[in-house]
Amino acid sequence: MKDKELTEFATRFLTAYAASAQSGNGDPANYEGKSALFIRSEGPGGIVEITDGIAQAQGGFVHRAATLLKSKAGHEKAISEIGIDHAHDFIAGDGPVQNAVTAMIKAVFEQADASFEYLAPNYLIKLDPAAV
C-alpha cells in the first residue's frame, strides 16, 4: 500500500533514527558518571538514543499505520516494534532510505494480514474414558 503520509512519516523516522545513531548520542561513554535517565534502543544498529524528534516521527508512523489498518488489524505496539527493528536494520545495512521505508511498510501490512488459530479445551463435554 502506498500512502503518501505514511511514507513521509516512515522516511522521517528512519532518517532521524540514523542521524541519532551516527551522532553517537546512544554511546554509553557519553553518559558515564552522569545520573541522567535517557531512553535508548539497542539492536544490530548499536545503541540509539530516542530523541523527541525520533519519538514524534515514530508516533506519527505508528498512528497513521494503525489508522489505515483499522482496529481489527492495527496493533500499535507491534507496529512500533516493527519500526524499531527495521530502523536498526537500516542503520546496520547500507541501502537507500527508500528501500528501508518500503520494507518497513510492507512488514507492517504483512503482520496485519497474519492470522492465528487458538484451540481451547471444552470443559462442557466429558468423554467416556472407557470409550477412548
Q: Where are the domains of the chain?
A: 4-113
pLDDT of amino acid 36: 44
Residues 6+ apart with CB under 8 A from 28: 47
User: What pLDDT, on a 0 to 100 scale, did the predictor assign at position 39?
Assistant: 58
Cβ-based burial of 65 (10 A; exposed 0-12, middle 13-18, buried ≥19) = buried
Q: Is 48 strand, coil or helix?
A: strand
What pLDDT score does 37 carry? Answer: 47
Name the residue with higher pLDDT: 113 or 56. Answer: 56
Higher pLDDT, residue 80 or 130: 80
- Residues 111-124: what's their mean pLDDT? 78
| Cα dihedral 101/84/56/74 (nearest 10) | 80
pLDDT at 33: 52
Whether the pLDDT of residue 95 is over 60: the answer is yes
Mean pLDDT value across residues 101-123: 85
Q: What grid cell was written down for 77?
A: 505496539
Question: Which has the minimum average pLDDT: 28-42, 61-75, 96-110?
Answer: 28-42
